[in-house]
Structure formats: C-alpha cells, structure tokens
Amino acid sequence: MKNLLATLHDCDPGMLPALAEVWGVESKSLSNDELIRRLQGAMLDSEKIEAAWDKLDEPARAALQLLVSSAGGRMKVGQFERFYGEIRKLGRAQIARDKPHTKGQSLAETLYYRGFIGEGYDKVGDNLLGFVYVPTDLIEVLPLHKTSYVNLAASRAPDEEELPRIGLIDDVDDINPADTSVVDDMTTLLAWLQMNEADVEGEQFAKTAVGLIKPYLLRPAERRLTFMLGIGISANLVDVQDGKALPRRNEARKWLKATRAEQIHSLATAWRESQHYRDMWHIPGLYPEDSGWTYDAAAARKAAVELFGDLLPEQGWVSINDLIEIIKEFEPDFQRLDGDYDRWYIRNDAGEYLSGFESWDAVEGSLIEFYIAGPMHWLGLVDVGEDVLRLTAYGRAFLQLGEWPRQAEPHTRIDVRNDGQLLVSRRVDRFERFQLARFAHCKVAGDPFVYAIDAASMQRAATQGITTQHIQGFISRQLDGKPLPLPIVKLLRNWQDGAKTSVTFESLIVLRSTSEETLEKIFAIPALRRYLGARLGPMACVVREDQWQALRAKLGEQAIEVDVSRLQVDGE
C-alpha cells in the first residue's frame, strides 16, 4: 500500500490540525504541504511514535498488531469495520466539534484520526476494493514489541493461512449417497430437446416444458432440471434461440461419446465457471432482484470451492453447520470481495430486505448449504445426510485433493425383447441411447429405461431423415446377429415407404333427443336444421362445434328444453 507521505496527502485537509495536535506539531502559519512534511517527520520519529503508541489502549494496539501481521499490513474496509467499528468521514468543523482523535466513536475511528491507519483502493483481479492499511514506512517504526498478547486472541480477525480443519463425525443419520444420474438425465434432456420444442423463461424452462420433460428423468425435481439447463448452456451442450432450448449437435455428440467420469468432469467444470446459472437465484426462501447491484456467480462459487478444499477432509463425514460457521469466522467475505453487506437487494419470504452482516447466515450461510445439498450433490461430488457431508472420489478431485477418476467403464448393449420393447441400462453408451431416442419413445425412466417403437415415433424419425433401414441397422447391431423381433419387423415393413394413408381426429358435439319424434321435429324446421350435421342414429346427430350456442337459443324459441349439464366447453 502507500507510505506515510502519500497517505497524508490523500487525507482530507480538515484532518491535518487534529493530527498536528496528536503528534505535537505546531500548525499555525503553515501551508498544508509544509504541515504534512512536519507531520511526516514527527510520526516517523521513534520517540514520538512510542509516546503516541503508549497513549493507545490495549485493544487499539492489538488491532494494529493484527493489521501489521496480516498480508501486507492491510485488510478490506468492510472486514476491518466489522471488527473495529465504522470510520466516519468528517469535515474540519465536525472534527473540531466531535474530536474523533481523542474520543472516537469506534476503535477504527480513533486509529484513523490519529494517523495510524489510512484508507485506499487496490485492484484484486477485475475488482477495485477498498482497504484499511498501515502506511509502509510507519510499520517499520511502530513499537510492536510493546504489545501485550493477553487480549489479542479474542480480537483476532480472519487469517487465511490459519484455517482450521473441521472435525469428523461418526454418527450419521439419513444418508443420501451421491450418484452420477445427472449424466443420464442430461442425456435424456438432450434427446428430448432434439425432438421437441421447449420454451425457456429467464433461466429456467417454462412450466409447460417442465411438465413434459420431468416424467423422463431419473431425478425429476424441477430445481435440478433448472440446474441442468444452466450448466448445459455453460458446457455448450444447449443453446437458447428466440426463447427455445435446443441441443448444440457437435458439442453434444462429443460429450455423449465421452466416459461417465469425463462427462461429470465437464459438467462440474461448467458449474464452477458458469455465469449463466446463478445459484443465489435458486435458493428456497431467497428472492434476489435483478437490478441495482452486480453479482459474480462464478467468483463466489470459485471462492467457496477453494475454501472447501482448504477445510474439508479427504475422508469422513463433517457437519455442514460447522463448515458454515468456520467460513463465517475466517472468510465471511468469500462472495462479497468489498465486504459491503448493504448494497445487495435480496428479500426473504416475508418480503424483507436482507442487509447488513447480521443477514450473513440467511444469505451466505444459505448459499453454502445450497452449494452442497444442491449442485455438488447433483453432480455426484458429495454424499449428504442430516446436516452432514462427505466427499466422494469425484468431489476430492473437484477440490484438487486427488486425481480425477479414470476407471474403465464397461458398456452393455441395448436389450431388445421379443415383444419389441427395448431395455436400456445406465451402462449403455449414452450416445447409443441418444440415437435410440430419436426413433423410439421412453415408456419408463429407470434402470433400465424402457423404450418402444410405434407409429408416432416412426413419424418423428421420418421428419429427421431417419429411414427404416437406419432403424433396422441400429437394432441389428444390438442383437449381434440374432433376428429382429416380429413386432419390430412388421412395423418397419409397414413403414418402409412411409405412411400409406392418414386419418384425422376431431372433437364433435352431439345432440341427443329424448325421442325419435323430437329429433324429426328439429330436422323439419329449416331454422334449426342449418346447425345440424350427420345423423348418428334415430335419436342423435352431430352439431357443428362453433354453432351449438346459437342452436341452443333457437331451440329455446321453439319451446324445446335444452340440457347442457354434460357438455364441457370453455366458458360454460
């Protein structure tokens, strides 16, 4: 950071008389520049600095000791003020009235107006952050050896180099082991998007699309489906154009052909780097606003993942609450680099804005818990239980605590049954299942998935240029020389040249009379007959769907009672 001379030049000129009083410098008739030079000399004088040091109380000396011993003699403004209070920026008249250099409203304010600390900015990555610091040359003359360490431990601030290891837990309840079903469900999603349109609203699928996709997923939770859309986009597997989601064919093909371990690695990396999927927006009970503040989802996630790597053991169960408490104590600003807890706009279920450090548990604590029980569990990185977690082999690799798994993955063929059903276990190559889903529909999502080929799926295949020869060749490869089941042979033969004819279904409204005479009377009246269609027997006929209300009015004019209680039509 800056030296003392630069710090004095940066401070408000209204502070200079107060500093002169503290350091015993005569300020009358001096220009600001001359006074700054005199102050610099006095503050770097060993006798004067020791005298000023001795006038500080023990907590103030402990705070300086801590600040000097931390990296570079500086600390983020928000972090420092949380421990030692806020620093009011006062003008000359306020300083003369309130005398913060003799009776500051906080420990931080006292140190600031006595010249022991300054405030400045520095660039950290792409962010410009505010820091409290001790001027570099002032550090060299501070009599730190005179500090008593009796109260230092109680006033310690976070020290990145001394993060504790969290303790292990033996008694664990309600274990929910991780799995890699996200790979299977991503395969299902890509296949579904290949054949169907899916509307996207903001960062999630529209409700209609959710209802259509969920029955085909192994884990059909809507929040997890939203996560899959987000990391699918971030992994370049899914694209959104004009509000519609569709697979990116080349990238999806490459991912589908990879091993399961490689697929998990790809999805986990996409989540870690994702700016599209904003975890904060998907935490139950939190409602962030989209304007008025900026949120770097990837930076927050990376910082949390780095902390997990420092804190979590490679083996064994640990308490999630303990993990959250340690992060709160040692690195609370992991997602708010500037330490500012007042500028974010996040509401709770009651509609109240969560601001200030007192909302840390509700925001940051909830976010850490969501990382663990949500994305990290969905990706197969952690097993979870009641307030506990345990890293899997994938999780250890993700946190750089071990090598990424590269175990062999034996693949099995699709089981083609004699009744024409196709059973696809999770051990079947994902690209094979993706291809199958282009001409067969999934009847049951599970292990195995159950697929069937029917007229509707044949029609869908034809629109994609998939011929019966393609389908026959694909299924024959699964049978390894065995004959095709008869139901599939018949279906392929019938569809060899495409659909031979077509029919349509349409809804009709039926008029049913109480007697043959009544229907004859209705047909005999031209004003009524114009609304009628074909007869369906001596006591029933068709009514055009857009004419039934007009017919009802005309029947009433003829003193014919009409009962529409069994008719279900919009608006009635």
Judge if 442 and 353 occupy the same domain. Answer: no
199-232 confidence digits (pLDDT tens): 999 999 999 999 999 999 999 999 999 999 999 9
72-91 confidence digits (pLDDT tens): 688 888 888 888 888 999 99
Would you place residue 150 in the very low, low, confident or very high pLDDT band (cuts 50, 70, 90)?
very low
Instruction: Answer yes or no: is 160 within a domain.
Output: no
Residue 203 φ then ψ, to 5°: -105, 10
Report which of 224, 229, 397, 239 is spatially closest to residue 309, judged by C-alpha positions.
397
Judge if 70 and 9 occupy the same domain. Answer: yes
Judge if 24 and 147 occupy the same domain. Answer: yes
Instruction: Answer yes or no: is 266 within a domain.
Output: yes
CA gap 300, 127 in Å, rounded: 13
Q: What mean pLDDT is reported for the chain?
A: 89
Judge if 364 and 218 occupy the same domain. Answer: yes
Measured from the Cβ of residue 334, the count of other Cβ atoms closer than 10 Å reads 21
What pLDDT shows up at residue 294?
A: 84
Instruction: Answer yes or no: is 176 within a domain.
Output: no
Question: Cα 321 to the chain's mean position, in Å?
Answer: 20
Judge if 124 and 218 occupy the same domain. Answer: no
Mean pLDDT of 546-559: 87
Judge if 222 and 81 occupy the same domain. Answer: no
Partner residues linked to 209 by β-bridges: none
What pLDDT shows up at residue 508?
A: 80
Report which of 85, 75, 90 is spatially closest to residue 130, judged by C-alpha positions.
75
Q: Report whether pLDDT(156) > 50.
A: no
What are the angstrom distances between the C-alpha of 409 and each of 234, 256, 430?
26, 14, 12
Strand pairing class (540-543; 382-385): unpaired
Instruction: Answer yes or no: is 500 within a domain.
Output: no
Instruction: Answer yes or no: is 164 within a domain.
Output: no
Q: Report whether pLDDT(160) > 50.
A: no
C-beta of residue 231 within 8 angstroms of C-beta of residue 277: yes
471-509 confidence digits (pLDDT tens): 999 999 999 888 999 999 988 888 876 655 566 777 788
Query: Helix H segments across 279-429?
Result: 297-311, 320-330, 360, 366-371, 377-378, 393-398
pTM, entire model? 0.74
Instruction: Answer yes or no: is 170 within a domain.
Output: no
Instruction: Answer yes or no: is 175 within a domain.
Output: no
Judge if 14 and 137 occupy the same domain. Answer: yes
Judge if 347 and 201 occupy the same domain. Answer: yes
Judge if 140 and 27 occupy the same domain. Answer: yes
Judge if 341 and 233 occupy the same domain. Answer: yes
Judge if 480 and 514 occupy the same domain. Answer: no
Question: Which residue segment(s) compose the domain that 61 sits in?
Answer: 4-154
- Give the domain-ending residue among 347, 368, 398: 398
